[in-house]
Structure 1
């Protein structure tokens, strides 16, 4: 006589398994993160691959990805190098700012010893050292880049025959094939949405910062573009550096204008308009998207924050959509009507 297992026990077992898998993912983050980045980039150029034949279907999309990565990497290195050269100019302003903060706190009745303890760990020279370590840290990403390129090369070759392979599996595993195709389609749509909105935000931010006279507007525009792939809180991460630099360079008024401009442009576009399109394209609810950011950042670091939505979309496809026994839970993750057809 078969033993009936309660839903609660199955749920508890699934949660325990998820914790183990996430812990293992964190231990292997140096491999998992670049590999999934390669998968995401391979999916991103799938529309181009579908229009090509023969060897061109494998190597042209690969060349497009590599050129885009090289251009982005070169822009980041040049921008950060300029930032490293610029930062030492603001060491005196930074010290005066800390002194004025200490004076304001003392006027509010805060104990002077507490002020010294709070400000003692804030060394203005650390800004310079942090900027220099960031530039030198690019060398530490060589291993991740090598892993990404190697996996990307293999996936680009395999992607040519993947469609035929999945087509042959339709009769045997229709739910799995449908889930994988849905994941690829959703990921491609999500990347298109984030890229379009990211370009819009980057252009607007760069123009505003240039008009306000904030140094290195192109760097902060590039930062806005990259952080646009981080759901919900990306604009806050992109706001802090230019706002602080505006404060040091031109004073409080310019910093306030930067904050206002970012709140109007970035918050409205990235946190109000874009999530509606991004959530619909990835088929993840707002709550799941936010939780995904925390979970995958913990497991994979900064790259996990950027890939949080595709990673969760992949987990949903494999763990829920691919199995008829668990497909009922998919609407709880997507936040859609159970009768809705994608």
Structure 2
């Protein structure tokens, strides 16, 4: 009598399905981002302090090499950070006070400009409601309200900077100790230390590039506005410098206020002259030249740089526009770089080093087809990659279980 051996049923793959895993990941991301948004008043100054300490930390090494004690070199880092913060606060206070004075001095001219624009739009055939809506952002009441709140805004910024000053002291002191991490843990955590070092280097290069271009743009814009007779050219030069740290859209943010002021005091000829100067100087430097340098410096695609400004501004407020690139680099360093299977997403983000070392042979027809698919790939790459990884993991688990079952079956007589 022959006994038939029934093969055991294949057990289901452990873990969640790809769809459930994707939903759980998205839900967790929403919860984390909601928490960051709720704590933006605290996290914003903290992140700014961290970025400033990263920027000024190289000051410590030359001082130590010259024989300075460690505590004195760390004090030099703190003093340098304070000087940067003091300069930023002074520029903001000066620009805020001057802006309030300008609005008060030119309130009548601003009201007349709004009436003239409304009449011109109505003469062009636009409905009265549409014309009023188009000029509502120039209403003297709104501008005066903004000017009346400038002092409160400056006080809030000053309060935030006091927090930054406190953060900078502790971070600078700790950074001196963290500098010895490679000596103690280079053998076991060398990869992590290299990743942190690369992130710090990228942040420093990014702000050096932006500060250099911003200074050039601010000087040229300020001199041009002074030559054209636009009031308060120093204020608009400071605005051009600050908005230069906002990727892609900083040019527009820095153009609108001096353009409106030129329209109020000099009419359309002066406004068009200001627009022409900004288009020549700022478009060439900020839109065409600078993004290329920034992209090469931090290895971020231009599309991701633009999207990061909108995203981080929504999450942590206006400060997110300035810290968008460092925060995006930090997110990539924490989430993508530790994962060896995330080369596809890293390459999409602009990291050229993540590309495979042995790419497929170049095929003209295939390349043309890939070019047609590029927009869809950029938009859906993140979602598809997560789903593909989950499916691959499930397939590997199924194969492993099937192999185990086969081995158990072969081992039976």
TM (norm. structure 1) is 0.92
1:172 maps to 188
Unaligned runs of 5+ in 2: 1-10, 65-69, 358-413
Q: Is 1:133 matched up with 2:152?
A: no
| Cα separation, 2, equivalents of 1:113 and 1:277 | 45
Q: Is 1:81 matched up with 2:92?
A: no
Residues 186 and 67 of structure 1, relative CA distance in 2, 3 Å threshold = same
1:16 counterpart (6, 15, 27):
27
Q: CA deviation at 1:109?
A: 2.8
Q: Is 1:107 matched up with 2:123?
A: yes
Residues 117 and 210 of structure 1, relative CA distance in 2, 3 Å threshold = closer
Residues 171 and 117 of structure 1, relative CA distance in 2, 3 Å threshold = closer
| Cα separation, 1, equivalents of 2:133 and 2:241 | 37
| Cα separation, 1, equivalents of 2:233 and 2:133 | 35
Q: CA deviation at 1:145?
A: 1.8
| Cα separation, 1, equivalents of 2:356 and 2:281 | 33
Q: CA deviation at 1:340?
A: 8.1
Q: CA deviation at 1:159?
A: 0.8
1:70 maps to 86
1:231 counterpart (247, 262, 268):
247
| Cα separation, 2, equivalents of 1:92 and 1:209 | 22
User: Which moved further from structure 2: 258-267 or 175-184?
Assistant: 175-184
Q: CA deviation at 1:15?
A: 3.4
Residues 113 and 160 of structure 1, relative CA distance in 2, 3 Å threshold = closer
Residues 112 and 161 of structure 1, relative CA distance in 2, 3 Å threshold = closer
2:298 maps to 282
2:385 maps to none
Q: CA deviation at 1:5?
A: 6.0
Q: Is 1:35 matched up with 2:49?
A: no
Q: How many residues align?
A: 341
User: Any idea what SS the aligned residue of 2:273 has?
Assistant: helix
Q: CA deviation at 1:118?
A: 6.4
| Cα separation, 2, equivalents of 1:99 and 1:106 | 11
TM (norm. structure 2) is 0.77
1:93 counterpart (109, 132, 156):
109
| Cα separation, 1, equivalents of 2:133 and 2:272 | 28
Deviation by residue 1:96-144 (Cα, 9 ceiling, x = unmatched): 2222222223223333465567667864133223112112321123442
Q: Is 1:188 matched up with 2:199?
A: no
| Cα separation, 1, equivalents of 2:338 and 2:51 | 19
Q: Is 1:264 matched up with 2:280?
A: yes
